[in-house]
Amino acid sequence: MAKILIVDDVAGMRESYQYDISRLTKYKTDTAFDGKDAIEKLTESNFDCVILDLEMPRADGFDVLRDMKSRADTTPVIVYTGTGNYQSCIKAVRLGAFGFVDKSDPIESVLQNIKHALDMAKLEKDNAELRNRLASKTQLLGKSKAMLKLKTDIKKLAPLKKSVLISGASGSGKELVVAELHRLSSDKNDKPLEIVLCSAIPSELIESTLFGHEKGAFTGADNQKPGAFELADGGTLFLDEIGELPLEAQAKLLRVLENKTIRRVGGTKDIEIDVRVVAATHQNLEEKVTRGEFRQDLLYRLNTHVLNIPPLQDRLSDIPMLVNHFMKSSCEEMSCKFKTVSKEAMEALMAYNWKQNNVRELINAVERMVFNCDGDIVEMKHLPVEITGSALASNSGSFEYQVTAAKIQILTSALERNDWHLTNTARELELADHSSLTKIMKRLGLK
């Protein structure tokens, strides 16, 4: 739920905005009575949007904007004036304000600006996170037959300027493949790499995000802004989850791929671009074509070259290498000594039927193993219960299985007798406290 800060030295004005926003939306609101109060609140708390008056005592709206800029605070700010002084509003936009409204504007217009600002902020945050993940992953791990084929195909495609479609389960490492494809591009490795998460773009912002917009093209478009295609000119544009694009946007994307030109929203001239488009999806686009949810001509344009990321089940021989790699990362993140995995535990990981069939599921398991293990060696008892259960089920007569099954039975019975009250259960089992019980439960996979 978004939190809005309303800043105005006139009590009636800020209370009126607060009342209307609370009445018409689910946003949370807070107020500041001048610029200095606003700076203090913005420093102490996080807000999703700021409604800011420009003319105030002690510190005015410009002081607030300068302070936010000095702290690299990217919270979107909508400024307003009651004097009709739009030159001041334009000055505020140059200082970083998202847009401006007039105090006489109806509340519906203000709410539209707030929604637009929140949508843009979320989109930029999602894309930034994806960009950071992609920038930090530049090496494909694995020597299985399936992975060696993928690496070979990437090397063949890297020097070309053709569009590429990456297919694979969600969490299988599509961003990593894009990073490797871009890194190995002979004439593009020093060129821009732009990323757009299609599933995160609000429908009304899709065209602006991809193709940019001219000043005044829509509410909140107070400046000319280049889109992802222009920013990626000469380099690579990664469209993640392209199956989520609505049909109208698909048609415009197809024209761009065919004509090599874009036109900003509200613009009157075409702009030539030289961009390699890499698209990715975890969906079956051919099925979406059959259902009328994806354009067949766009699919033909995109799938000239397809890179299929092998599911984890097809590269089980890579698991030891992947586990050790993720183990190192998890130990560094948790500030603990590197742990090794016992032979029995590693065999259980390789024998497990990975339901989601992706690397993200393995990463999650490794993180839980590091958390569960206080020593230097990860053993069977430290593995997530779904993995140990699977391994032990195939060897139900083993001593390890009988010990684990007995512990689970004892704990479950005690918890049920005490209505799952942790403190009472710990007391019955003569444990030090409920935190000791919690650690044992986590180790055995009981929630």
Which H helix or E strand runs over 257? helix 247-259
Helix (H, G, I), strand (E, B) or coil at 51: strand
Give CA 334 to chain center in angstroms. 21
Residues 193-246: tens digit of each pLDDT: 888 888 878 777 888 889 988 887 776 666 788 889 999 998 889 999 999 999
Q: Residue 138 pLDDT > 70, yes or no?
A: no
Least confident of 27-36, 52-61, 438-447: 438-447
Averaged over 321-347, what is the pLDDT?
90
Asked if the domains at 137-310 and 396-447 fall in one CATH topology, the answer is no
The domain made up of 3-118 has a fold known as: Rossmann fold (3.40.50)
Handedness of CA 257, 259, 262, 266 (dihedral sign): negative
**CA separation for the pair 241, 343 (Å, rounded):** 38
**CA separation for the pair 396, 402 (Å, rounded):** 7
Q: For domain 396-447, which CATH number applies: 3.30.230, 1.20.120, 1.10.10, 1.20.58?
A: 1.10.10
Q: Residue 69 pLDDT > 60, yes or no?
A: yes
Exposure string for 298-318, b = 16+ CB within 10 A, e = fewer? bbebbeeeebebbbbeebeeb
Q: What angle do CA 430, 435, 436 make, to 5 degrees?
A: 45
pLDDT at 399: 64
Residues 363-412: tens digit of each pLDDT: 889 999 999 888 999 998 888 888 876 555 555 455 665 676 678 778 87
**CA separation for the pair 211, 228 (Å, rounded):** 6
Closest CA to 147 of 314, 289, 3, 276: 314
Question: What is the CATH code of the structural domain delimited by 311-391?
Answer: 1.10.8.60
- By CB atoms closer than 10 A (0-12, 13-18, 19+), residue 336 is middle
Least confident of 89-98, 167-176, 395-404: 395-404
Residues 248-289: tens digit of each pLDDT: 999 999 999 999 999 998 888 999 999 999 999 888 999 999
Half-sphere exposure in the Cβ direction for 352 (13 Å, CA): 26
pLDDT confidence of 333, banded at 50, 70, 90?
A: confident
Question: How confident is the prediction for the chain on average, in pLDDT?
Answer: 85
Question: DSSP letter at 237?
Answer: E
Calculate the alpha carbon distances from 129 to 96, 159, 355 in Å.
21, 27, 26
Q: Where are the domains of the chain?
A: 3-118, 137-310, 311-391, 396-447
What percent of the chain shows pLDDT beyond 70? 89
- Please give the residue that has the higher pLDDT: either 191 or 118: 118
Least confident of 48-52, 98-102, 104-108, 406-410: 406-410
pLDDT at 68: 92
How is 173-229 classified by DSSP, letter by letter?
A: -HHHHHHHHHHT-TTTTTS-EEEEEGGGS-GGGHHHHHH-B-TTSSTT--S-B--HH
pLDDT at 140: 83
Global model pTM greater than 0.85: no
Least confident of 96-100, 295-299, 321-325, 413-417: 413-417
**CA separation for the pair 326, 332 (Å, rounded):** 10
pLDDT at 64: 94
Which H helix or E strand runs over 101? strand 99-102
Are 363 and 326 within 8 A, CB to CB? yes
**CA separation for the pair 70, 371 (Å, rounded):** 39
pLDDT at 222: 67
The arrangement of strands across the sheet holding 306-308 comes to 193-197, 236-240, 276-281, 164-167, 306-308
Averaged over 326-336, what is the pLDDT?
89
Averaged over 53-57, what is the pLDDT?
89
Q: What angle do CA 353, 356, 357 make, to 5 degrees?
A: 65
Least confident of 29-38, 83-92, 246-255, 423-432: 83-92
- Please give the residue that has the higher pLDDT: either 4 or 315: 4
Residues 296-314: tens digit of each pLDDT: 999 999 988 999 998 888 8
**CA separation for the pair 16, 78 (Å, rounded):** 16
Are 277 and 254 within 8 A, CB to CB? no
Helix (H, G, I), strand (E, B) or coil at 30: strand
pLDDT at 192: 86
Q: For domain 137-310, which CATH number applies: 3.90.50.10, 3.30.1950.10, 3.40.50.12780, 3.40.50.300?
A: 3.40.50.300
pLDDT confidence of 445, banded at 50, 70, 90?
A: low
